[in-house]
Structure 1
Amino acid sequence: MSVSKPVVYASILAAVALVAYAVGSYAATWTAELKFAESDAKIAALRGELMGQIAGMRSRSEERATGAAGSLEEVKRQIQAEMGLFPVKLLRERRESFVELNTYDNRGRLNYGTAGYLGNGYFITVKHGVMALGDDLERSDARRIVSIEILDKGKKIKAQVVDAGNANVEVHPGDWAIIKVKKPIDLPPLRVDTAFSYDFAEPVVRLGNDYSKGIILSTGYIGQRTSNGLVTCLTDGHPGVSGGGVLDQQGSLVGIPVGRMEGDFRFSFILPLRDDMFRKVPGLSVSSAVPVPTGD
């Protein structure tokens, strides 16, 4: 049976058209997928760029906040330094490093003072608080200290003198002593600075056992150096504060109160700390100080 040419041509054209349609559909699908992929890549790139910008904005914001906080702290420090102010938290922490000191002499008399903790069981105080002074100590009836105690959280702890200056009177550059307790003690040690300059009008704070009523603080300003190396200051010099602490604005121990002018509790004398005072205190690091007269 023969097929006419028109029919053959029509079949061929139909087949070609079908193939062309299939190829066109595939090409269109492939092109669309390619465009979608390109769009996804662009979206991912935009997302990454946007996240980077957000992260950068957050970082700059945090930097500004940190910088603002740092600037605020610096301003606070400058104001404190200029006005002679002391952080209350710092003073409360340093108060824990001082203890009441009680001594008893051979005449049955109780004497009270203050001592500052240096660590490892060692304290610094005044010599006249723990040793009798004078030129007649060889006499049989001379006054002598027979017992030394510190009061820690209400408990009495025995102590002994391990080193002392050469003072034979009060308000003397050798009026210092190092004592040590015989039992373990849990107190925060003081940071010692022997390089404090004691410039005129430099603000300081004094902590001491005023009238044996516990550790109390008083603020004041540095006055003048005396000819024997002591320093004058207008801080309360009530009985009991001798041997306490004189702190600078950083909370470092820079001196000890050793006495007052007769008849004037406000006019007191400070003994600046010196390296030789700590020669028998093991493990204590002190800075180098400018030499001053020692009276030795």
Structure 2
Amino acid sequence: MYIKRHTKIIHYSLKEIKGAGKGTQMKTEFVIVTGISGAGKSCAVNVMEDIGYFCIDNMPPQLIPKFAEICEENDDISKVAIVTDIRGGTMFLNLNATIEELKKCGLDVKLLFVDANHHVVKQRYKETRRKHPLFDVTNGDIDKAIDAEREIIEPLREIADYYIDTSLMSTSTLKENVLNIFLDTPSDSMTISCISFGFKYGVPNEADLVFDVRCLPNPYYIPELKEKSGLDKEVRDYVMSFESSQTLQTKLFDLIDFLIPQYLHEGKSQLVIAFGCTGGKHRSATFAENMCEHLSKNHLKARVLHRDVNKDKK
């Protein structure tokens, strides 16, 4: 541990917020963005700014309640995204207490955690030649700096309302993920993302539910379907022409239909359902598309993302 932990909880002056909470409904949506340095928080916030969020980078947790008071008095600000992370030093350690205090005062506050694995973060720092926030306190050891930050920030990942792992994501894919979560999404509803992926590229860490559909017949071995994907009707028709595919889909629909009310009851804000096949191009894409259609027909906010569908294109 390289930053001394503070156990004292700071009691913020939230008189105006508490007073407003007694007689009026809080109108401002707050998203606190945090996560591992180098994971892509800045990119995520840039996307949020493009869709109408008032964004602030590197605000210490102690200032967030005061800023919340200002926002509640301003009718022009309805959506706010605040980045706070390890750059705040010891001040950052009070973020959990700040979030709890804001929620107790009736504010609509959500936590977005942006993550990436150790190897990817280290490689990004090498490519950009930027200095990690804990570079000096670890005597220039980037591995120790990354490990130290993760130890400090891990508890926040566990309480996050939204989680994005960018380890295997391009910038455009990260942008699509952020849009899927926040674009025209009411703060009190659950966003369901249906992801297709290839096991040979790795399982998406952000997935809540992972289903392996490699047990089904593979269109890859059909010459006229090999270069197509589950976005094409011919491929989807082929995959779903088998009784095993139809039975599996029916059972998956029943399972998800049962689980969603349970997740909603527990207050879950984001559900990621991932379907994997070998390359993430045919079977997984078919099932992701079909699941998204099924959920949309049930009037749920569902979106589809095909992570690896174009990776084998020449």
TM-score tier by shorter-chain length is under 0.3
Higher relative contact order (CA 8 A, sep 6+): 2
* TM-score between both structures, scaled by the size of structure 1: 0.22
Larger Rg computed on CA atoms = 1
TM-score (norm: length of structure 2): 0.21
